[in-house]
Amino acid sequence: MHCDVILNIHYTAPKSVWDKINRAYKQLPYWDGFDSDGPHWIDKDIDITASAKPEGLKIYGEMPEEQWGEWYEQLKQKLSAAVGYPVGEVSEGYEFRYWKKAVNPELDITMIKGGTDNCYIVSDRKEAILVDTSSGKSLKQVIDACSQYDMKLIVLTHPHFDHAENAEAISKRFNIPVAYHREDDAIFDVYDSQPLHSYGAVGAVVLKLSLKQLRTTKVIRPANHFYIKDGDTFDDYGFPSVKVIELPGHTRGSVGLLVGDNSLIVGDALDNWIKPGMGHLYYDLEVQKKTYEKIQSLGIKNIYYGHGKPTKG
């Protein structure tokens, strides 16, 4: 029997979904493997192929009717489980689900300059993530900048006041969660849980000027928060191409965000007070040095610092 159906799975589904679909394929009887045309199921009198077309997922080829009935039911079941919604024929009214950012969009990174610190809005020009929140005196400025977007999430590179003091207020204002690394949780209670040291003349000045505020500014732990770790991406918030990179040294839980392939927001792991380089303040110098080398080895073109002007390659 010739078989030919179009299922309601759109070819623009993101890679993470196709990975699940490919795993589902392999669980079906007669699985033969992938070749240049796509996945194949082969047996006596059976030769079925799947192909992602603009009109949907096309399943076609030859299979005897008795086997097709059961095989096709299994296929739909496994695909439904893989994609997370009922899969069936488009001609029978099964609807597509569209993944808004199936293809990683070009993302903008917009700097908001607080006092001496920067925070960043990562956006597709509609929806956005705020990376760091600046200190209390910049609250209105940061909220005004965020108000131009449909805000989805706040990420903190680390919870020092100059990055995190406004986190709770902005989280409440836009009803969005705040993500940060678990290792830095205690800093919300007491800065001295990870006291800073410095290198060089610049570092000594910066530390001297900020130490009192670091110690005395109450940074509220956001009520609506979750933890992030190395490799996490923000698929659930519409930003699959924004990835967490652990950059410890300044604090134990310092993170950077890799935006696409070419841009890295580094928090205080690096700084550009006078010239770009390793962050002048650190909790652990050896770890900070390793992180510096790690960032170098990534060969990222554009670096966005917590302090100082971004550098673009």
> Residue numbers of the site for Zn ion (CB under 5 A)?
160, 162, 268, 306
DSSP summary character for residue 193? G
CB 132 to Zn ion: min, Å:
8
Cβ proximity to Zn ion: between 102 and 202 the closer is 202
Residue 60's closest CA among 41, 44, 79, 83? Answer: 41
DSSP summary character for residue 89? B
Residue 13 and residue 22 in contact, taking contact as beta carbons nearer than 8 Å:
no
Q: How far apart are CA 235 and CA 127, in angstroms?
A: 13
H helix runs in 175-231, sequence order: 200-216
Cβ proximity to Zn ion: between 160 and 243 the closer is 160
CB 248 to Zn ion: min, Å:
12
Cβ proximity to Zn ion: between 168 and 268 the closer is 268
CB 163 to Zn ion: min, Å:
6
CB 116 to Zn ion: min, Å:
8
In the complex, which residue's CB is closest to Zn ion? 160
CB 290 to Zn ion: min, Å:
18
Residue-wise DSSP of 119-160: EEEEESSSEEEEE----GGGHHHHHHHHTTSEEEEEE-S---
Cβ proximity to Zn ion: between 105 and 248 the closer is 248
Structure tokens at 129: 């993530």
Cβ proximity to Zn ion: between 8 and 198 the closer is 198
CB 268 to Zn ion: min, Å:
4
Q: How far apart are CA 220 and CA 17, in angstroms?
A: 37
Residue 224's closest CA among 160, 165, 174, 150? Answer: 174
Cβ proximity to Zn ion: between 238 and 253 the closer is 253
